[in-house]
Amino acid sequence: MKKKHGRSSAIPYLGTWLDIARDRAATHIWRLPVTSKLANDAGVLMWGLPKTIEEIDFEVAGERATFTLSMDGREVLSYSVRASGNRVQPRSASAVYSLYEGAPHVTYINHEYRDMGVELGGGSLSLGDHPVADELRGLGLPRRPLMASWMGHLALDVGPPEKL
């Protein structure tokens, strides 16, 4: 699976929606906060992902799940989503792009989701006072999401990075 750069659609967002529906959407990892040394080391040393160990709080209250990311004792963001669903997405592959050993690489991840929920226009994002929150504001956030999703169960296999 290779994502072609520069494709466009006559209808805004249509190409992106079709890529998501066909499981052809690629991801570039900008930052990837995790909560343990094992997760950090595996991501950095094996795949070159820009992982850092941070504080991530997770809370489920009623039908909502809220994730709050803090760095250096300051809140970066808080994201809330409806935490329910009964959809199943069969096993498929996605491309993840990163810099590994100073060069661009792609890693393919085979994944399967269960107890998945999708809500158009769902989800709620608020930004804190950390400098990373300011970077996100520079990208035009927070805005109402086009789509929010919940994955109750995830199974995945991560392949080795391939140099581009």
At 48, is the secondary structure helix, strand, or coil? coil
Name the percent of the chain lying above pLDDT 70: 85
**Measured between alpha carbons, how far is 4 from 6 in angstroms, rounded to an integer?**
7
For 92, the token pair is 């498929």
**pLDDT (0 to 100) of residue 152:** 84
Q: Does residue 5 carry a pLDDT above 60?
A: no
Q: With contact defined as beta carbons under 8 Å apart, do 54 and 74 qualify?
A: no
More confident residue, 53 or 105: 53
Instruction: Tally Cβ neighbours within 10 Å of residue 69.
Output: 19
Q: Does residue 17 carry a pLDDT above 70?
A: no
Total-model pTM: 0.75
| C-alpha dist (Å) from residue 50 to 30, 34, 78, 120, 121 | 7, 10, 20, 29, 29
Q: For 95-120, write each residue's pLDDT tens digit.
A: 888 877 788 888 888 888 888 888 88
For 156, the token pair is 């995945």
Q: Please say whether the structural domain 29-163 has been given the CATH code 2.40.400.10.
A: yes
**pLDDT (0 to 100) of residue 11:** 63
The stretch 63-87 carries a mean pLDDT of 94
Give the start-to-end residue ranges of the domains of the chain.
Answer: 29-163
Q: Does residue 71 carry a pLDDT above 80?
A: yes
Q: For 145-159, write each residue's pLDDT tens digit.
A: 888 888 888 888 888
The stretch 28-33 carries a mean pLDDT of 85
**Measured between alpha carbons, how far is 152 from 114 in angstroms, rounded to an integer?**
6
More confident residue, 9 or 149: 149
End-to-end CA distance of the chain: 13
